[in-house]
Each structure stands twice: as C-alpha cells, then as structure tokens.
Structure 1
Amino acid sequence: MSKEDAQIFKVIFVNQGQVFEIYAKAIYQSDLWGFLEVEEFVFGERTQMVIDPSEEKLKTQFEGVIRSYIPMHAIVRIDEVERLGVARISEATGSNIMSFPLPVPPKA
C-alpha cells in the first residue's frame, strides 16, 4: 500500500454553533468558489464495546453522503494524520474558536 492510499485527513470546522471533527481520505479545493470538498468519510469500527454517541450522530448525519462542500470560512484546521481518531461534535460556545473574517463591502 502506497503512502497516498493511506492518507487520512482530520478536518475541523464550525457548523451552526458546533465544532465538527471528521476524518476523510480525500479533501480538495472545490470548483465552487469558496468551498472545500470532502470525500470518502472515515469513521471508527463498530467492533468496539464502547460507542461514542457523538460519533454515532456524525455517522448518521453523513450516511449516504458522497461529497460534502464546506465553506472555507468555516474551516478551523486540517491535519494529515497517521491514525484514525474519533469523529466528534462539540459545542463552540465558550471556546477560543473565531470565524474567519469576511471582507466588508465598500459603502456606495
């Protein structure tokens, strides 16, 4: 198996007041301006005895999704990781996460 076959990316982004941490095998800039495309979502195996409700919620939410378009300004961080971690959702309130500043339109 080559290095590229084993690539896994951890993508952290903000969505409706929550911080999503997901894992995927393919991410790239979209032809749709201002969006990042995320494909081939990866979730933990169901063989574990302990099930994380946050990960199960993400599995359900992304079930049947082939490709997701995430706005660039919602992205907090992207990491290429060696091992698959636990996908999770957490509340963004009280955290140090700040939205990417948007340009202010000039006054007419």
Structure 2
Amino acid sequence: MRAKKLYKITFLHLGKCYELYARHVETSPLWGFTEIGELVFEPAGSGLLVDPTEERLRDEFADTRALHLPMQSIVRIEEVERKGALVIRDAGDGQKVTPFPLPTRPG
C-alpha cells in the first residue's frame, strides 16, 4: 500500500519565505484560500542534533489544526517522496524560488 501523500508548501508571510511539509492540501471553504493540514514535523528529540528552524516552526504552529493561506501568498506546492529540512528565509534576500513573475525593464 502506498504511503499517504506528502506535500512541500512554500509560502510568503510577513516578509519571510516559509517551507513546511503537510499531508493535507485542498481548496479552503474560505473563498480565495488554500487549506493546509496535518503539518509534518520530526518527533521532538528524535535525533542527536536539534534543528532550530524546525523547533521554531513547531512552536509557532503547535496548536494549528489547519492553515488557511491566501492563494496570493503561496509560491509553490510540491508532492514529494520524503521530508527535507524546514526553511524560513527573508523573502527579499537570496531565496531559491521567485515568488511572482517580475516585470522586465526595457533596457
């Protein structure tokens, strides 16, 4: 039997670019939003090294059953095979993904 699907969600929030993993993604009943549920974190204390980003995100979303993200804030949703490192970056500084097409300047 195939394991439950895993999604990597990249979104913008308060000048930061977040990358989270979740098992549930669908259109939200709230118009213009996408519902993200069943966030995936490593069990606390499961490894020798502590990832401060994962700890920060686990604390921030500790009581969250579902995120309802505005569609405009979502950069990318990918279906992936396995979970990678969680990431928080400055949205304007060196991110891997360009959030929106940037207009080209005549030059």
TM-score (norm 1): 0.82
Q: Identify the residue that residue 97 of structure 1 maps to in structure 2.
A: 98
Identity %: 34
| Distance apart, 1:94 and its partner CA | 2.6
State the AA in 1 paired with 2:18: F
Count of matched residue pairs: 99
Matches within 5 A, 1:47-86: 47-86=46-85
Separation (CA, whole Å) in 1 of partners of 2:99 and 2:10: 13
Taking a change above 3 Å as real, the CA distance of residues 30 and 100 of structure 1, as seen in their structure-2 partners, is farther
| Distance apart, 1:99 and its partner CA | 4.5
Q: For structure 1, which runs of at least 5 residues remain unmatched after alignment?
A: 102-108
State the AA in 1 paired with 2:66: R
Separation (CA, whole Å) in 2 of partners of 1:55 and 1:21: 10
Q: Identify the residue that residue 105 of structure 2 maps to in structure 1.
A: none
| Distance apart, 1:100 and its partner CA | 7.5
SS state of the match for residue 34, structure 2?
Answer: strand
TM-score (norm 2): 0.83
